[in-house]
């Protein structure tokens, strides 16, 4: 049996860290949006046992349970009790690794969707969220995509009105950001500026794209270590070329800008691409 699908990147239109919970995780309040930038996933199941990455294409991708896609398949088979299948997962990467775009989580979410369809298990939303949060905090959102308010560790999802159609430029600086390291720098009491999530949700309800752009904010930008000037420089380049707003996604370091006009998005892309190989012109998914 074989199945396939697309694993779509996510953006954080806003990201607020509410508190540190007793289990060591942080409680978040974030508005997420899926975009058309994606990895392509192919899953093949033949009689046998085990889950593996059949052809990673990238030597740096782990092939065992450290890979979220492998972890997702193991979680699916463990929950459903289905046995006797050797599962190979092939990932064609387009989403940069360690970019704050949820690439690994999107891959895991896609594997869950593919296996659910292949084996006709028809897992409900609650079950998929439960499986997803056990794999990674962004996985529940990536299973469903769209535009959502995401709270808690990532398991509380509220559907929001879709963002107005627009053009998006995503640009990743040369460095990666360690999510555990950045969370280790967080002191919730010292966060000076927080996003107006209520205002952002209201702007989405009005299909007010400029309003959405005005309310975009990510508290992680204030926690970045010194020497990460590329984030600000990319933001300024996007704004100088007509972006309505630009902000870092997730724990970074990727920056994205929202554009009403394709011509402006193209100008921003053309100005950044020569210096940053991981630069993409994309759209809402």
Q: With both helix axes pointing from N to C terminus, report the angle between 68-80 and 103-118 in degrees, rounded to the nearest 10.
A: 30
Residue 137: CB atoms within 10 A of its CB come to: 21
Looking at residue 96, what DSSP letter applies?
P
Q: Are 33 and 142 within one domain?
A: yes
Told to judge if 240 belongs to the known catalytic residues of this protein, a careful annotator would answer no
Summarised one tens digit per residue, pLDDT across range 18-47 is 998 887 788 999 999 999 999 999 999 999
Q: Provide the pLDDT for residue 58.
A: 62
Same domain assignment for residues 266 and 225: yes
What residues make up the domain containing 243? 167-283
Listed residue (217, 228, 224) closest to 179, CA to CA: 224
Same domain, 74 and 194: no
What's the total number of domains in the chain? 2
Buried b (16+ CB within 10 A) or exposed e, 248-285: bbbbbbbbbbbbbeeebbebbbebbeeebebbbbbebb
90-113 pLDDT, tens digit each: 999 999 998 999 999 999 999 999
Query: Does residue 39 sit in the same domain as residue 77?
Result: yes
32 and 101 fall within a common domain: yes
**In this structure, are strands 85-92 and 51-53 parallel, antiparallel, or unpaired?**
parallel
* List of the chain residues with pLDDT < 50: none
Domain check: are 26 and 109 in the same one? Answer: yes
Question: What CATH number is given to the structural domain containing 90?
Answer: 3.30.230.10
CATH number at residue 271: 3.30.70.890
Asked if 120 and 207 sit in the same domain, the reply is no
The pLDDT value given to residue 226:
67
Kindly state whether residues 21 and 155 are assigned to the same domain: yes
Claim to verify: residue 129 and residue 53 sit in the same structural domain: yes
277 is annotated as an active-site residue: no
Among 16, 39, 138, 230, which one carries the catalytic annotation? 138
Q: List the structure tokens of 119.
A: 């084996």
Distance (Å, rounded) from C-alpha 74 to C-alpha 60?
21
Q: Are residues 134 and 259 in the same domain?
A: no
CA distances (Å), 124 to each of 78, 149, 166, 269, in order? 16, 20, 32, 40
- Alpha-carbon span 283 to 38, nearest angstrom: 11
């Amino acid at each position: 049996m074989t199945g396939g699908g697309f694993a779509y990147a996510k953006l954080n239109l806003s990201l607020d860290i509410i508190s540190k919970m007793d289990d060591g995780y942080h409680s978040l309040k974030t508005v997420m949006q899926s975009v058309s930038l994606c990895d392509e996933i192919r899953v093949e199941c033949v009689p046998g046992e085990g889950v593996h990455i059949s052809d990673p294409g990238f030597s740096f991708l782990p092939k065992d349970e450290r890979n979220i896609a492998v972890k997702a398949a193991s979680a699916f088979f463990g929950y459903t009790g289905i046995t006797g299948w050797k599962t190979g997962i092939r990932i064609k990467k387009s989403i940069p690794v360690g970019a704050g775009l949820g690439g690994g989580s999107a891959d895991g979410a896609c594997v869950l969707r593919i296996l659910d369809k292949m084996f006709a298990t028809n897992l409900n939303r609650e079950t998929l969220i439960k499986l997803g949060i056990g794999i990674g905090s962004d996985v529940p959102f990536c299973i469903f995509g769209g535009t959502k308010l995401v709270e808690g560790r990532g398991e509380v999802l509220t559907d929001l009105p879709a963002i107005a159609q627009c053009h998006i430029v995503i640009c990743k600086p040369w460095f990666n950001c360690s999510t555990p390291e950045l969370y280790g720098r967080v002191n919730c009491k010292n966060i000076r500026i927080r996003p107006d999530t209520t205002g952002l949700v209201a702007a989405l309800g009005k299909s007010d794209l400029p309003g959405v752009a005005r309310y975009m904010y990510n508290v992680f930008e204030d926690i970045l270590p010194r020497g990460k000037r590329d984030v600000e420089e990319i933001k300024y380049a996007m704004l100088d070329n007509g972006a309505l707003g630009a902000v870092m996604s997730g724990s970074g370091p990727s920056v994205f800008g929202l554009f009403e006009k394709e011509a402006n998005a193209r100008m921003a892309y053309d100005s950044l691409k020569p210096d940053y190989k991981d630069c993409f012109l994309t759209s809402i998914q």
